[in-house]
């Protein structure tokens, strides 16, 4: 079996599945690292103890989607042709995900999609991830949906119910695994209330990111807070945030944090402001309210559960939402106490069980997902 990954979140979300596959005598997972990300991915692979079988090293500085896609499909096609795996596993919605599925499809190798069925309903938001997910759905034979809503979205698109399994999100498996082993250290330094901020999405780059930076400067004027921004490596992010925030002593900019340090930082924070998919899935596990800095969401479960608010990027709205949470204890407690709707930490087990069953190797697993339903 080949497991394709190329970016930081794919490594985090596939790590527990690779561990489960590797611990089982039934499968031999071979990791194909597309190298869509370089430092950010290598940092993860090292810390998560993942050994790569192939590295396509496709990343270029300021890569464009079309050229990246061409390098990915060429490299992956050749590898899958040579290796002839009995299945290709992909995760999520990145360019590596799309090209891993497409290259496998072209070679008549079946595709398993982890974190299937997320839908914002707006084809170009998030861009290009919403389209990537929909295309991967058309190509996959196994659809591992993190939530019942994601599963329902798939069956509504005529994916046979027998090909869909609700597993929970593997991000929670990894979080629980890491939490027990962590030697991570919080990056907050001041003892003030910590605002943890991550920003990188394409639709937020440019003017929106400049406006968000101004909002962070306003929030940092409060004497009771410390704003911490671990910077994504993308130059499109750094070109805006470094000049806008770099000189302010009340704002700490860091390189991407080590995963274990990031988790410790999240646990030490008061509030999370983010446009990241993975971060909004993790924060409720630490009872941290999340302000989602995006206009649409393919993860409405966390909003419905009451753990996150979709606030968009309008400076007034973001400032008001953050201020309300910092000043209103009742509101804060309500959001912080909301359940995490993304699973119970056993998603990888279910994925392994389903694949083993379908390859005729062991009976299907019995443990159903105890779904968190939000009012």
Would you tell me which residues interact with ligand UDP (CB under 6 A)? 8-9, 12, 171, 198, 200, 230, 256-257, 259, 262, 276-279, 282
The answer to whether the CB of 349 falls within 8 A of the CB of 20 is yes
The answer to whether the CB of 305 falls within 8 A of the CB of 341 is yes
Distances (CA, A) of 347 to 17, 94, 169, 170, 342: 8, 20, 6, 5, 10
Q: How far is the CB of 333 from ligand UD1 (least distance, A)?
A: 31
Among residues 40, 89, 166, 293, the one that binds ligand UD1 under rule CB under 6 A: 40
Rounded to an integer, what distance in angstroms lies between the CA atom of residue 13 and that of residue 198?
18
Closest residue to ligand UD1: CB criterion: 94
Q: How far is the CB of 316 from ligand UD1 (least distance, A)?
A: 26
Region of 2-10, 247-255, 281-289, 319-327 interacting with ligand UD1 (CB under 6 A): 2-10
**Prior bond of 126 cis (ω within 30°):** yes
Exposed/middle/buried for residue 103 (C-beta within 10 Å: 0-12, 13-18, 19+): buried
Rounded to an integer, what distance in angstroms lies between the CA atom of residue 196 and that of residue 194?
6
Q: Looking at beta carbons only, is 299 or 350 nearer to ligand UD1?
A: 299
Q: Looking at beta carbons only, is 155 or 182 nearer to ligand UDP?
A: 182
Which of 330, 38, 276 lies closest to 291 in space, CA to CA?
276
Q: How far is the CB of 45 from ligand UD1 (least distance, A)?
A: 11
Binds 63: which of ligand UDP, ligand UD1, none (CB < 5-8 Å by kind): ligand UD1
Q: Looking at beta carbons only, is 133 or 355 nearer to ligand UDP?
A: 133
Enter the DSSP assignment of 293: -
Among residues 174, 234, 269, 270, the one that binds ligand UD1 under rule CB under 6 A: 234
Residues identified as active-site: 93, 115, 129, 200, 202, 232
Q: How far is the CB of 362 from ligand UDP (least distance, A)?
A: 30
Which of 121, 145, 154 lies closest to 341 in space, CA to CA?
145
111-114/142-145 β-pairing: parallel
Note whether 63 binds ligand UD1 by CB under 6 A.
Answer: yes
Note whether 119 binds ligand UD1 by CB under 6 A.
Answer: no
Q: How far is the CB of 83 from ligand UDP (least distance, A)?
A: 27
Q: Which two tokens stand for residue 66?
A: 């079309």
| CA-based R_g, the chain, Å | 20
Q: Looking at beta carbons only, is 26 or 236 nearer to ligand UDP?
A: 236
Rounded to an integer, what distance in angstroms lies between the CA atom of residue 325 and that of residue 225?
12
Q: How far is the CB of 202 from ligand UD1 (least distance, A)?
A: 6
Which of 143, 86, 77 lies closest to 106 in space, CA to CA?
77
Among residues 12, 17, 20, 37, the one that binds ligand UD1 under rule CB under 6 A: 37
Note whether 8 binds ligand UD1 by CB under 6 A.
Answer: yes
Q: Enumerate binding residues for ligand UD1 (CB under 6 A).
A: 7-9, 36-41, 59, 61-63, 68, 93-95, 128-129, 200, 233-235
């Amino acid at each position: 079996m080949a497991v394709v990954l190329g970016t930081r979140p794919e490594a985090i979300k596939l790590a527990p599945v690779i561990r489960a596959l590797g611990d089982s005598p039934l499968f031999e997972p071979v990791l194909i690292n597309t190298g869509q990300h370089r430092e950010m991915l290598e940092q993860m692979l090292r810390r998560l103890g993942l050994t790569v079988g192939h590295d396509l090293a496709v990343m270029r500085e300021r890569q464009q989607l079309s050229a990246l896609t061409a390098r990915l499909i060429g490299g992956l096609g050749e590898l899958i042709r040579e290796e002839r795996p009995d299945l290709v596993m992909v995760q999520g919605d990145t360019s590596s995900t799309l090209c891993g599925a497409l290259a496998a499809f072209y070679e008549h190798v079946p595709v398993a999609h982890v974190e299937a069925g997320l839908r914002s309903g707006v084809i170009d938001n998030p861009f290009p991830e919403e389209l990537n997910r929909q295309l991967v759905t058309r190509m996959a034979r196994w659809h591992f949906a993190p939530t019942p809503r994601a599963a329902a979205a798939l069956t509504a698109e005529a994916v046979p119910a027998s090909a869909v399994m609700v597993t929970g999100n593997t991000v929670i498996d990894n979080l629980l695994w890491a939490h027990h082993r962590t030697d991570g250290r919080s990056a907050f330094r001041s003892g003030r209330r910590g605002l943890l901020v991550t920003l990188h999405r394409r639709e937020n780059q440019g003017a929106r990111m400049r406006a968000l930076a101004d909002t962070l400067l306003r929030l940092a004027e409060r004497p009771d807070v410390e704003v911490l921004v671990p910077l994504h490596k993308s130059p499109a992010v750094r070109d805006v945030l470094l000049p806008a925030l770099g000189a302010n002593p009340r704002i700490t900019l860091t390189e991407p944090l080590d995963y274990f340090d990031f988790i410790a930082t999240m646990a030490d924070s008061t509030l999370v402001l983010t446009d990241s998919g993975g971060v909004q899935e993790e924060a409720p596990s630490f009872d941290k309210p999340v302000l989602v800095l995006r206009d649409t969401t393919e993860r409405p479960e966390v909003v419905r559960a009451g753990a996150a608010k979709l606030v968009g990027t309008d400076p007034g709205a973001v400032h008001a939402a953050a201020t309300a949470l910092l000043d209103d204890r009742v509101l804060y407690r309500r959001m912080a106490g909301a359940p995490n709707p993304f699973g119970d930490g056993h998603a990888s087990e279910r994925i392994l069980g389903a694949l083993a069953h379908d390859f005729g190797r062991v009976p299907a697993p019995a443990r159903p997902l105890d779904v968190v339903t939000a009012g």
